[in-house]
Amino acid sequence: MEGSIAEMGKFIGAGLSAFGMGLAAIGVGNVAGNFLAGALRNPSAAGGQTATLFIGIAFAEALGIFSFLVALLLMFAV
Amino acid sequence: MATESHGAEAVAAGHAAAESAGMPQLAVETFGNQIFWLLVALVATYLILSRVALPRIAAVLAERQGTITNDIAAAEELKLKAKEAEAAYEKALADARSQANEIVEATRAEIKADLDAALEKADAEIAAKAAESEKAIAEIRANAAESAAEVAKDTAKELIAALGGEVDGRSVTAAVNARMKG
Amino acid sequence: MADNAHAAAADHAAEGTGLVFHPMDQFKVQPLFGGTDVSWYTPTNAMLWLALTVLAVFLIMVVGTRGRAVIPSRGQSIGELAYGFVHKMIEDVTGKDALVYFPYIMTLFMFILMNNFLGLIPTSFANTAQIAVTAVLAFAVFFAVTIIGFVKHGSHFLGLFWVTSAPLAIRPVLAVIEVISYFVRPVSHSIRLAGNITAGHAVMKVFAAFAGLVALSPLAILGITAMYGLEMLVAFIQAYVFTILTCVYLKDALHPSH
């Protein structure tokens, strides 16, 4: 009984941390969308900023990956 | 540095049997193996790239840049040459045109000179002929007047003789001459 | 470890007809020639795919360019494309003075890129999904950048943490934040790569497990196909991101005063 409650907690925690990935998706979408909006206003300056775009996406995505990692750890390692 | 300590740690923990159904990524006993082979692979890649691949590609790119620069210079030169050739052609054309004009002018002048000369000659001939004719006419006229005077004298003498007069040659001649002049 | 594998195989056999999810099995490091012990020199599947990665880099960068043609062949174009890509990235992000480190950054890029793509081959082993591998890569960058910073600028390198453009009152707070973010860098740097690759491969494996149900199998195949396409993109983008972040960190070391 005790073990199964711990098991349940693990799964609930993993599910909750999956929210984090969705939120990171919002963040990545925000970065890319704002970049696109800016790029459409000033297309000539967009080319030089793709590196910045990818760095921004990478940072936003890393946090989603962290929550994914938490989910994995809960599922498989704890 | 960190990698070394990681490796040592992993080897130490290697046989300490980790979690059973956990994440394989966290199986510490495999870290030593992975890190060792990773370092081997990284060094191999680094040597391959820095010793062989990158210098070679850099050389190729530099050579290409040089070739492109040379080609552009050559193209520029050829363009210049083409321009020169065009200018020469234009000049030749202009020369030919002006020469042709000159020839036309010269020919025209020559023809005109010839024509003028011929006209002059003809004029002179015509004038000479006219003068000759006039002379002839004048002669004929003079002859005619003389003949008329002769005839008049003869006729006057005959008339005088016929009328029974005595013919005085000198006076008849004088009278006829006076009449002729009158 | 091999005991675990045997146990997993037994599980497979036992559960047989039902849905079997073993998304993490593909990341197991196993000896190539049987046995159970994974010591530091054992030839493992990790070693095999690292070797294949080196071979792939060798094929593309050395064999592909063996013609040294002024007008490149297709193979040579690939090598030159990779060369020009990284070269330009360093020039744009870090500056011309960082071209000294070009071979090392190129090594990182080619190694991660090739490993990511080779990891996408079915039944292969993705080294870049292993936290041990990416941690070595990231910490190597971290230590290299820190050492370069101190060698080039001495104690001025610490100015990186003392934000002079901010009001004096909040500078200590900012300094703490900057120091923390500096030391978190290698962690996020390594987990980003390993997490992305792990996530992609695990998701594909989960889709593959759904293929066991006849009704869902077309959907599973569709899902795997779509995920595979996405993972091709991710494989490249993560190599790119790892390299460009290396360039950014290197810029901090070479020009710490922003």
What are the chain B neighbours of A74 within 8 Å (beta carbons)? none
- The DSSP string of C98-125 is GGGGHHHHHHHHHHHHHHHHHHTSTT--
Q: Which long-range contacts (CB under 8 A, 24 or more apart) does C146-152 make?
A: C146/C253, C148/C250, C148/C253, C148/C254, C149/C252, C149/C253, C149/C254, C149/C256, C152/C253, C152/C254
Instruction: Quote the pLDDT of residue A41.
Output: 92
Q: What is the DSSP letter of C209?
A: H
Q: What is the pLDDT of residues B149-167, one digit of tens each?
A: 888 888 878 887 888 777 7
Residue C3 resides in a domain: no
Residue C12 resides in a domain: no
- What residues make up the domain containing B55? 2-181
The closest of B72, B15, B4 to B38, measured between CA atoms, is B4
Q: What is the pLDDT of residues B103-122, one digit of tens each?
A: 999 999 999 999 999 999 99
What is the C-alpha separation between C181 and C245, in angstroms, rounded?
Answer: 14
**B91: closest CA of chain C, how far (Å):** 41
Three-state SS for C128? Answer: helix
Instruction: Quote the pLDDT of residue B79.
Output: 95
- Percent with pLDDT over 90 in chain B: 51
Confidence band, pLDDT 50/70/90 cuts, at residue B13: very low
Q: Does the structure show a pLDDT above 70 at C3?
A: no
Residue of chain A with shortest Cα separation from C190: A62
Instruction: Quote the pLDDT of residue A72.
Output: 84
**B12: closest CA of chain C, how far (Å):** 10
Residues 24-53 of A with CB under 8 A from C: 48, 51
pTM equals: 0.73
Residue C16 resides in a domain: no
Residue C108 resides in a domain: yes
Confidence band, pLDDT 50/70/90 cuts, at residue C209: confident
What are the chain B neighbours of C62 within 8 Å (beta carbons)? 48, 52-53, 56
Residue C40 resides in a domain: no
- Bridge partners for C44 per DSSP: C31
- What residues make up the domain containing C107? 46-254
What is the C-alpha separation between C124 and C132, in angstroms, rounded?
Answer: 18
Q: What is the pLDDT of residues C79-113, one digit of tens each?
A: 999 999 999 999 988 989 999 999 999 999 999 99
What is the C-alpha separation between B77 and C84, in angstroms, rounded?
Answer: 31
Flag the least confident range among B6-15, B82-91, C98-107, C179-188.
Answer: B6-15
Mean pLDDT for chain B?
Answer: 83
Residue C169 resides in a domain: yes
What are the chain B neighbours of A72 within 8 Å (beta carbons)? 23
- The DSSP string of C55-86 is HHHHIIIIITTTT--SS--HHHHHHHHHHHHH
Instruction: Quote the pLDDT of residue C13.
Output: 43
The closest of B43, A58, A32 to C240, measured between CA atoms, is A58
Q: Are B37 and C44 in contact (CB under 8 A)?
A: yes
Instruction: Quote the pLDDT of residue C258.
Output: 55
Confidence band, pLDDT 50/70/90 cuts, at residue C156: confident
CA dihedral C196, C200, C206, C209 (to 10 degrees): -140
More confident residue, C45 or C38: C45
Instruction: Quote the pLDDT of residue B75.
Output: 94
Instruction: Quote the pLDDT of residue B4.
Output: 42
Instruction: Quote the pLDDT of residue C19.
Output: 66
The number of folded domains in chain C is 1
- State the maximum Cα–Cα separation within chain B, in Å, rounded to a whole number: 201
Q: What is the pLDDT of residues B74-108, one digit of tens each?
A: 999 999 999 999 999 999 999 999 999 999 999 99
Q: Are C113 and B14 in contact (CB under 8 A)?
A: no
Confidence band, pLDDT 50/70/90 cuts, at residue B182: low
Residue of chain C with shortest Cα separation from B44: C54
Instruction: Quote the pLDDT of residue C30.
Output: 85
Q: So what's the architecture of A2-77 in CATH?
A: Up-down Bundle (1.20)
What is the C-alpha separation between B147 and B169, in angstroms, rounded?
Answer: 17
Q: What is the pLDDT of residues A27-73, one digit of tens each?
A: 999 999 999 999 999 988 888 888 888 888 888 888 888 898 888 88
Q: What is the mean pLDDT of residues C121-149?
A: 92
Residue of chain A with shortest Cα separation from B27: A77
Q: Does the structure show a pLDDT above 90 at C54?
A: yes
Token pair 């552009």 in the structure block, residue: B72
Instruction: Quote the pLDDT of residue C240.
Output: 93
